[in-house]
Structure 1
Amino acid sequence: MSSEPGAKEDRAQKEELNKKIKEQKIVVDELSNLKKNRRVYTLQPNSNIFFLADKGETLSTCKEDLDNMRKEYRDI
């Protein structure tokens, strides 16, 4: 066990981020395996409304988010 004051918080933050990374991997895999004619909807920020979105743009955004999460995980 580490006696550093922030060790528990860092561990908890790392576990939470790891969980989000796993969820994001699933999203990327699901989007990657969709048939070409499938529609993709995204949730608008600060609302409960979904709008039709471009599959390619959504996939690239999700991949960027995953990469950012992985970088943040490594930095912790």
Structure 2
Amino acid sequence: MSSKTRQNENNCEEQSGLKEELNRKIKEQKVVVDELSNLKKNRKVYVQQRNSNIFFLADRGQTLGSCKKELDNMKKELQDI
């Protein structure tokens, strides 16, 4: 088998792995968006600070909007692959 053939197979496997990982993240993000959408208006939402175990009180509407935007970006990235 030539080195180009092996390289193409490795690239296909890497892309497949990336697609699977992205699909998993998209499913997780859909759950987050659904959960935020179904919260009662008076419920509090906390957002975790990056690389930390600290949570901060956040606005539900802003959090939902940013989660939807992130989901759209993930879907767009999946289509580009």
* Match runs of 1:1-76 below 5 Å: 4=8, 5-76=10-81
Runs of 4+ in 1 over 2 A off after TM superposition: none
- Determine the C-alpha separation between the residues in 2 that align with 1:56 and 1:47: 23
Taking only aligned residues, the RMSD between alpha carbons, in angstroms, comes to: 0.9
Indicate the percent of aligned positions where both proteins have the same amino acid: 66
- Determine the C-alpha separation between the residues in 1 that align with 2:60 and 2:43: 8
Give the TM-score normalised by structure 1.
0.94
Q: Which amino acid aligns with 1:25?
A: K
Give the TM-score normalised by structure 2.
0.88
- Determine the C-alpha separation between the residues in 1 that align with 2:15 and 2:65: 29
Following superposition, the deviation at residue 46 of structure 1 comes to 2.0
